[in-house]
Amino acid sequence: MLSHWRAWRERGWTEIDAAAYAAAWSRFGGSVATHPLVVERLAGLAAIPVRYLGWQQSGELVAAIPTWGRYLALAKDVLKQQGKRGLYDLGNAELILPVAPGVRLPLRHRARYVSPLNAGQVSTLREQPEGLALAREPEAYSKKFRYNQRREQRLLEEAGGVIRPMLELSAEEQARIYADLFQRRWGFEATGKAHLAEVFGLLREFMTGSLIYLNDEPVAIQVLYRVEAPKWVSLEYINGGVDPQNREFSPGSVLSFVNTQAAWSEARALGKPLRYSFGRADREYKDRWCNRVAVYQV
């Protein structure tokens, strides 16, 4: 029965190796959650082998996917089934699958938050009730909004606030600060707290953004991962933490402004559009920064 269902699920797909998957991603693009090294390293941490599948047309590979059984690789549901719930946190990351332009094919593996970039390529997608929150371009914010953000940043810096790159810190320092500020902000532990330093170490080359100190103490941090595809830049805002005792300086808002501005500047220097995802469009603050876009599932 198991092989029967797998044969149905994989009909039209053939097994490929990790190198072929990486080549497809490099050619057709993808996102943080489908990047070959992100998949390889987090699957290795979870000790769950990845089965890579490819779609061929006229003897040429035109699409590829990484899978865990009946799910796409890195799925939370599989971690939960294997007793590894919360091993790492990728939020509700946008899934951009490496598919060649003009190709249309079926996907029968379970997936959520599949990108609208794949909507015309994958015939089996249906729209999710939840939308995805993608950061607006800097010019799309009102003049008043931008003025207020710059003013908040100036007041914070005048009070002794310092903005530092995340990569100035070791993975262990990042994990300690993030766990502490997350707990203070939300009142419960960050997902995967026990493995944060290991995950931050594994994904260090993809980590970007800054954190904020006030009086030599960290007061705001955001976990951001960034990858560059051939035709766009994909950036995931996974989660963050803020010290609520410094609310009068709005360090969380200042950090969102600093991080989004820097990301847009970098992407534009490369001449590529930026897909800066705040994950599921489920909180009011995301509407301040983002546009809601349709997102899909299988």
Token digits for 261? 């501005």
* pLDDT recorded at residue 197: 98
The predicted structure's pLDDT at residue 115: 98
Distance CA 69, CA 162 (A): 46
Q: Which of 203, 198, 136 is nearest to 166 (CA)?
A: 203
Cα diameter, the chain: 67
Mean pLDDT score of the chain = 95
Does the pLDDT at position 154 exceed 80? yes
Q: Which residues, listed in sequence order, are joined to residue 290 by a DSSP beta bridge? A: 135
Model confidence pLDDT, tens digit, residues 230-254: 999 999 999 999 999 877 789 999 9
Give residue 5's pLDDT band: very low, low, confident or very high (50, 70, 90).
confident
Total residues belonging to the chain: 298
Mean per-residue pLDDT, 216-228: 97
Write down the pTM of the prediction.
0.94
Tokens representing 143? Answer: 């003049």
Q: Which fold has domain 133-297?
A: Aminopeptidase (3.40.630)
pLDDT at 190 over 70: yes
The pLDDT, as a whole number, for residue 168 is: 97
Instruction: Say yes or no to pLDDT of 2 above 70.
Output: no
- Beta-bridge partners for 61: 56
* pLDDT value for 55: 98
pLDDT computed for residue 164 by the predictor: 97
* Residue whose pair of structure tokens reads 């959650």 in the numeric block: 33
For the residues 268-278, what does the mean pLDDT come to? 98
Q: pLDDT exceeding 90 applies to what percent of the chain?
A: 91
Ranges of each domain in the chain: 2-130, 133-297
What order do you get walking across the sheet with 51-57 strand by strand?
13-16, 51-57, 60-68, 71-72
Q: Looking at the predicted structure, is the pLDDT value of residue 176 above 80?
A: yes
Distance CA 213, CA 162 (A): 5
- Segment 50-66 shows an average pLDDT of 97
